[in-house]
Chains A and B, each alone.
Chain A
Amino acid sequence: MNRRANLPDSLGTGRWPSLAAAVPMLVLLALPVVALALASSPAALAAGARHPLFLPALGLTARTTVASLVIVVAAGTPLAWWLAASSGRLARGVEQLVDLPIVLPPAVLGIALLQTFGRNSLLGGPLEALGLQVPFTTAAVVLTQVVVASPFYVQSAAAAFRRVDRDLLIVARTLGRSPAGAFFGVAVPVALPGLVSGAALAWARAIGEFGATLLFAGNLPGRTQTAPLAIYTALESDVQAAVALSLVLAAVAVLLLLGLRALPGGRLGRVVVAVAAGAGRR
């Protein structure tokens, strides 16, 4: 796959000036990463990693983001399939709704979630009557992550499903598969690179979630204090712990990014698809 448009030379003359214009921005993108990497010695990092906030926060982030990713994929995949197959006004409206959390400021989202699940709110009253309280619990952390991360998965999955040739599905049906069989046997494996990259983006967004979580779930160590919130807290007392946590999150992010780049069409993509196709076959 050739990603670059091979422009004729006469059209390519603007290339170097355009790169030069972007240099300040590129420096701004690169410098913080370099600074973070240089900020600490191994010994200080090890000390930071022993900080009491460190492990519980990382563990909570791992548990909550895996839970929210499972929910996002389980609910988002059928939604994406429906969006890919529909073109009506309803589908366009739903698409806008799905995109909403991307443009809403996290703080606004946190307030909105409080207004939904908080005391004497839309759902809070009925839930309280059942003895359930959502705000300032681990469940609130997961809910927030689901809301902020789902657009990334649903949009990517819908785009991937749209690229699946309709004829492939008709062929699968004529070869004896039920609608569900054609979906899992053909649509999902063919769209899989798009589904996986969407899931990776959604996961990254969930790991980084901060503002809405702080407002809706609070910052309670062990219950709602995820890694970004622990960084925020540690910064007040122990900068090294904050840097150590930041480096771990940065490493996860870089790995996700590299994985994403390797995925579509590449060897890794082929492997993922082959494994999934093998697992999908009964």
Chain B
Amino acid sequence: MKYLITLLLSIVFTTQGIAQQNNVIEMADVMRSNGKIYVVVAVLATIFIGLMIYLIRIDKKVQKLEE
């Protein structure tokens, strides 16, 4: 099924390319179509949330010291 989708997509893209005189600008559409980009989003979001939790904890500690 995946191969079929890839095949179909590549046909679509190549025909588009011929139509636009091979002027197709390459984007990560295929990567997005099979969903793998969500992995990257999840990793980045995890790292960012982790950093923010760290920042909140420092904030808390400073607040405790201030009292």
Pair from one complex: no
Interface residues of B (CB under 8 A from A): none
